[in-house]
């Protein structure tokens, strides 16, 4: 943190204007803090509610359908105009400004008109809309939209923290604010992400901001913080990770991002560099202690954290990041820095999010202030969303049984029908399968079994009773989910290895103790585990040295769910698979 304090002092002249503030406290603000820390911060408006919603609420994920996108027009205009250029093609852009005519002139000079743009004349201090902006929540999952606003964790920027009230007034929406005890809570949007299903992530900055010494008039332990988030935002599970040593603002959007309910995009430094070790420790903490809302392990995709002209944040380098990106319906805007790593980062984004228009926006002007595109933008959820959530199918060894696809679909008017479209070749037409409502807005269909080596592409299409339609992923059919059917090895392989012979497990089908005979002509290292049709480990049966001769290993399938499983044998040079049915 000392680095950022000194850096702020060196840039005092640059941040002299009250509206050109960095994402951290400027030198002028640091001088004001001793006086401000004796007052209780208020951001309420006459129409804001300071008690929790009476009905259950769900906080929307960033990749869900949105009606609007919000920025404050002040610092970094070259970035703001590019955000507007691409954002207005996807939804209505809301621009907070006290000088609309100047913004209009800037846009016109850069080839843009005011179509799909609304100007909001509201007071403001800074550009960091993500941190002080409102959060979109829905009563009863999808019934109607409301906003939730926390106390902004910048004591000196009280105008910023009134903007959610102004946006709510303009849209005629209810605003809930966490400003009054016992529900007073400080939080910041850059240190927040949610999967739309009740799980949220943050760094432990959330603890630092809610103790008496922080000066906001709040003092909450973890259980109290979790309770407030549950009541106001429907968060059932709030995962907090250690702060990073060299990220002075401690916002998780600087190094990670949820791409969907199951996928985390994680910034990666070279081994041992800067915040790399702590980021990896945090990710391993998540992987070892938590599963997705579907009960499966998180998918991790790595993306580089580049150096700043040879310098890292642990030295004098700026915190260059590609995770500080934003969804705008079918477009994703990604920060770039005019460096070779930009092309790698954009490729990773495009491969990870098929069908999206992935656009790089030069963020070299904002990154010295510890923020990029996600930091200066905020979404406004759709007024009447058709919400589809789906646990994607992963690569499988199954070649005999059909592949069950499940989804949940909700709309306030009710769901008329849901369909599954699939193909094994994206150059030919998708085949349509009706999905059946098996219980309470939960739908399922079966893709026919395919031979090993097949790649399957699919998407979902839902129709509401009022005529609204929606697809998942939102970019379908150009975007899609996909999985591969992997190859298997026969149950008994005479020459599976010069030193290994695998016999049929018995009994098969199984429901209880199952024997796995193995014979080897010479001692060797082997591991034996059981995986499900998604390739996820269900049980580790043995790991060590297999002695010469025949051995028998045992597993108990008594508590396994019925279905197909695979016994996987790994030696130093090969992997062998056996199919096992559990009754």
pLDDT of residue 34: 58
Cα dihedral 320, 323, 325, 18 in deg (nearest 10): -50
Give residue-wise pLDDT tens across range 232-261: 999 999 999 999 999 999 999 999 999 999
Q: What is the pLDDT of residues 517-528, one digit of tens each?
A: 888 888 888 999
Say how many CA atoms lie within 13 Å of 51 toward its Cβ: 2
Which pLDDT score is estimated for 499?
63
CATH 3.75.10.10 describes domain 2-38+47-362+374-381: yes
Compute the average pLDDT of residues 210-223: 95
Class of CATH domain 387-484: mainly beta
Picking from 68-82, 285-299, 338-352, which range would have the lowest pLDDT averaged per residue? 285-299
Domain boundaries, the chain: 2-38+47-362+374-381, 387-484, 493-582
Mean pLDDT of the chain: 90
Question: How many CB atoms within 10 Å of residue 152?
Answer: 28
Query: What pLDDT score was predicted for residue 35?
Result: 59
Domain 493-582: homologous superfamily in CATH:
Macroglobulin (MG2) domain (2.60.40.1930)
Its pTM surpasses 0.85: no
CA 548 to chain centre: 49
Extract the runs of DSSP E, i.e. beta strands, from 414-562: 415-423, 431-439, 442-447, 455-464, 469-472, 481-484, 493-497, 500-502, 513-520, 524-531, 537-546, 549-556
What pLDDT, on the 0 to 100 scale, is given for residue 19?
Answer: 62
| Domains 387-484 and 493-582 equal at CATH topology level | yes
Q: Per residue in 526-543, pLDDT tens? A: 999 999 877 888 999 998
Gap between the Cα atoms of 368 and 524, Å rounded: 55
Mean pLDDT calculated for residue range 172-193: 97
Lowest mean per-residue pLDDT among 355-364, 419-428, 534-543 = 534-543
Instruction: Tell me the CB-side half-sphere exposure of residue 278, using CA atoms within 13 A.
Output: 14
The tokens for 505 are 């497990």
């Amino acid at each position: 943190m000392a680095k950022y304090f000194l850096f702020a002092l060196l840039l005092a002249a640059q941040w002299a204007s009250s509206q050109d503030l960095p994402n951290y406290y400027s030198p002028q603000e640091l001088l004001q803090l001793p006086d401000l820390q004796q007052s209780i911060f208020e951001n309420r408006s006459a129409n804001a509610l300071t008690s929790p919603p009476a009905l259950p609420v769900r906080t929307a994920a960033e990749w869900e359908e949105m009606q609007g996108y919000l920025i404050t027009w002040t610092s970094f205009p070259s970035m703001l105009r590019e955000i507007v250029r691409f954002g207005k093609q996807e939804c209505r852009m809301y621009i907070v400004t006290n000088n609309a005519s100047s913004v209009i002139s800037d846009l016109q000079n850069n080839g843009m008109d005011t179509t799909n743009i609304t100007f909001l004349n509201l007071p403001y201090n800074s550009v960091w809309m993500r941190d002080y902006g409102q959060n979109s929540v829905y009563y009863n999952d999808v019934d109607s939209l409301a906003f939730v606003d926390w106390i902004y964790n910048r004591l000196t920027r009280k105008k910023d923290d009134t903007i959610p009230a102004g946006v709510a007034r303009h849209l005629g929406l209810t605003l809930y604010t966490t400003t009054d005890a016992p529900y007073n809570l400080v939080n910041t949007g850059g240190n927040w992400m949610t999967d739309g299903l009740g799980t949220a992530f943050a760094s432990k900055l959330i603890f630092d901001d809610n103790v008496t010494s922080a000066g906001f008039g709040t003092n909450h332990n973890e259980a109290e913080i979790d309770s407030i988030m549950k009541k106001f935002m429907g968060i059932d599970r709030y995962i907090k990770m250690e702060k990073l040593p060299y990220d002075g603002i401690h916002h998780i959007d600087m190094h990670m991002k949820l791409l969907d309910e199951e996928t985390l995009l994680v910034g990666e430094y070279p081994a041992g560099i800067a915040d790399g070790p702590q980021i990896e420790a945090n990710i391993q903490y998540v992987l070892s202690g938590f599963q997705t809302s579907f009960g499966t392990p998180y998918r991790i995709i790595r993306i580089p954290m580049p150096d700043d002209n040879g310098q890292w944040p642990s030295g004098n380098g700026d915190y260059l990041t590609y995770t500080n990106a934003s969804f705008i319906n079918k477009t994703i805007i990604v920060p770039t820095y005019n460096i070779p790593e930009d092309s790698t980062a954009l490729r990773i984004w495009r491969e990870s999010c098929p069908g999206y228009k992935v656009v790089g926006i030069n963020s070299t002007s904002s990154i010295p202030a510890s923020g990029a595109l996600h930091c200066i933008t905020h979404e406004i959820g759709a007024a009447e969303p058709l919400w589809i959530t789906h646990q994607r199918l992963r690569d499988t060894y199954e070649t005999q049984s059909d592949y069950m696809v499940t989804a949940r679909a909700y709309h306030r008017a009710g769901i008329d029908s849901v369909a599954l479209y699939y193909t094994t070749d994206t150059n030919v037409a998708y085949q349509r399968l009706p999905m059946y409502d098996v219980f309470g807005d939960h739908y399922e269909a079966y893709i026919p079994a395919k031979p090993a080596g097949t790649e399957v592409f699919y998407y979902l299409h839902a129709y509401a009773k009022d005529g609204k339609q929606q697809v998942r992923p939102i970019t379908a059919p150009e975007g899609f989910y996909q999985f591969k059917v992997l190859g298997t090895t026969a149950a008994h392989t005479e020459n599976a290895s010069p030193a290994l012979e695998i016999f049929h497990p018995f009994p098969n089908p199984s429901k209880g103790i199952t024997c796995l005979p193995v014979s080897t002509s010479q001692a060797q290292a082997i591991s034996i585990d059981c995986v499900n049709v998604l390739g996820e480990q269900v049980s580790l049966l043995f790991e060590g040295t297999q002695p010469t001769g025949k051995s028998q290993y045992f597993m108990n399938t008594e508590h396994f769910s019925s279905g197909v499983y695979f016994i996987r044998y790994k030696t130093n040079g090969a992997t062998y698979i056996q199919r096992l049915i559990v009754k």
